[in-house]
């Protein structure tokens, strides 16, 4: 069986350019956490202290949220079915459940048993039997997760996975650490999940590139942002080719337990809330164009760049002036 994993593609190709005249001292750090390479850059008098504090915060959250680390809060919860957790973990679960509800289950943080069957969290990616998928789906359902203060309870056999929102939340926490140190210009890249504080030191906006899902070594386009998160989900990021010759992507539809087949190949969400952008990039991918646009029109507060299977780039009106098409693909504007 031919298997392909492109875990780091988003980090390599979703980038931010900080070219320009730097004002204030620059400091940066790189570390590996949350199964990806993370970079933090800050400008200001206390930039060294700020990036050190950010790195510590990232490592702390990684220890809390990991689904595979036996010492993490999520692992303990999945093992016991009930646990008192930190405020961070309780907040992420509560916010994620709210998005699960608003997306009618297109996002489901209890999908982990199904991911295990497909082997997307291991090195044993394969097509599971229909019986195995059905049995795993029987152990999912976000509505059965109970959160009361810092106490979380899940049914027997259920398992939570915060992979759809943990990096987005962490990016927001990094920005918070920067603000504590008086930093007004900073950038964090969590494996392609980009979050910016303010503008570049020269006063211009940050340039964030989005990978072309049809040719991931090239750019789809560039977004100009400040004080925003830019987070992309795409089938090209992690997938495998089965014995039947079909390509199976890692983004699963919680309703079917199978890779999402929504007519979309890439979804980028732009907004001020990193967790929301992270979670919605997955949920809107599962929904497909029509439902995704309806959701955006109903809830607002963020912008989207959708790429359809037929090669059309759909951009919401709020960022049409900030998006520069680099792909040659046709672009249409989504109006409210």
For the chain, residues with pLDDT lower than 70 are: 1-23
- Which two tokens mark 70? 């036996």
E strand or H helix at 173? helix 166-180
Query: How many CA atoms lie less than 13 Å away from 311 in the CB half-sphere?
Result: 6
Region of residue 18 (phi > 0: left; psi between -120 and 50: alpha; otherwise: beta) = alpha
For the purposes of burial, counting CB atoms within 10 Å of the CB of 192, is it exposed (0-12), middle (13-18) or buried (19 or more)? Answer: buried
Q: Assess contact for 313 and 305: CB atoms under 8 A.
A: yes
Q: Three-state DSSP class for 18?
A: coil
For residue 101, which phi and psi values (nearest 5 degrees)?
-65, -50
Within the chain, where are the H helices?
A: 9-13, 47-65, 73-80, 87-102, 112-118, 130-137, 166-180, 274-287, 289-299
Cα radius of gyration rounded to whole Å, the chain: 19
Domains of the chain by start residue, with CATH = 65-153 (1.10.3980.10)
pLDDT at residue 16 in the model: 44
Q: Assess contact for 211 and 13: CB atoms under 8 A.
A: yes
Calpha distance 65→88 (Å, rounded): 9
pLDDT at residue 237 in the model: 84
**Nearest Cα to Cα of residue 235 among 221, 251, 219:** 251
pLDDT at residue 23 in the model: 55
Calpha distance 163→166 (Å, rounded): 5
Tokens 């390509």 found at = 247
pLDDT at residue 1 in the model: 37
Tell me the angle at which helices 87-102 and 166-180 cross, rounded to the nearest 10 degrees.
Answer: 130
For the purposes of burial, counting CB atoms within 10 Å of the CB of 317, is it exposed (0-12), middle (13-18) or buried (19 or more)? Answer: exposed
Tokens 């994620």 found at = 96
Calpha distance 82→38 (Å, rounded): 31
**Nearest Cα to Cα of residue 236 among 213, 220, 258:** 213
pLDDT at residue 24 in the model: 72
Q: Assess contact for 305 and 314: CB atoms under 8 A.
A: yes
């Amino acid at each position: 069986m031919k298997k392909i994993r492109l875990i780091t593609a988003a980090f390599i190709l979703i980038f931010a350019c900080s070219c320009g005249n730097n004002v204030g001292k620059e400091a940066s750090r790189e570390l590996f956490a949350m199964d990806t390479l993370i970079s933090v850059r800050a400008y200001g008098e206390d930039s060294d202290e700020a990036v050190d504090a950010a790195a510590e915060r990232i490592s702390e959250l990684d220890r809390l949220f990991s689904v595979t680390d036996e010492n993490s809060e999520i692992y303990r919860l999945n093992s016991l079915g009930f646990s008192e957790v930190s405020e961070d973990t309780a907040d992420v679960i509560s916010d994620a459940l709210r998005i699960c509800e608003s997306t009618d289950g297109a996002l489901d943080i209890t999908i982990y048993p199904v991911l295990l069957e497909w082997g997307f969290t291991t090195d044993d990616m394969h097509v599971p039997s229909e019986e195995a998928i059905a049995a795993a789906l029987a152990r999912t359902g976000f509505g059965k997760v109970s959160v009361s203060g810092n106490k979380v309870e899940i049914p027997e056999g259920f398992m939570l996975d915060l992979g759809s929102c943990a990096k987005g939340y962490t990016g927001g926490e990094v920005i918070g650490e920067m603000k504590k140190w008086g930093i007004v210009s900073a950038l964090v890249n969590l494996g392609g999940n980009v979050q910016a504080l303010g503008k570049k030191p020269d006063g211009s906006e940050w340039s964030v590139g989005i990978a072309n899902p049809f040719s991931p070594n090239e750019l789809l386009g560039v977004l100009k942002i400040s004080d925003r998160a830019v987070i992309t989900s795409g089938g090209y990021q992690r997938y495998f080719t089965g014995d039947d010759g079909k390509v199976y992507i890692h983004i699963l539809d919680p309703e079917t337990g199978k890779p999402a087949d929504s007519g979309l190949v890439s979804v980028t969400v732009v907004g001020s809330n990193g967790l929301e952008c992270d979670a919605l990039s997955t949920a809107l991918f599962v929904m497909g164009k029509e439902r995704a646009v309806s959701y955006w029109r109903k809830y607002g507060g963020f912008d989207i760049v959708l790429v359809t299977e037929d090669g059309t780039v759909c951009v919401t009106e709020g960022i049409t002036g900030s998006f520069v098409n680099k792909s040659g693909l046709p672009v249409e504007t989504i109006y409210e």
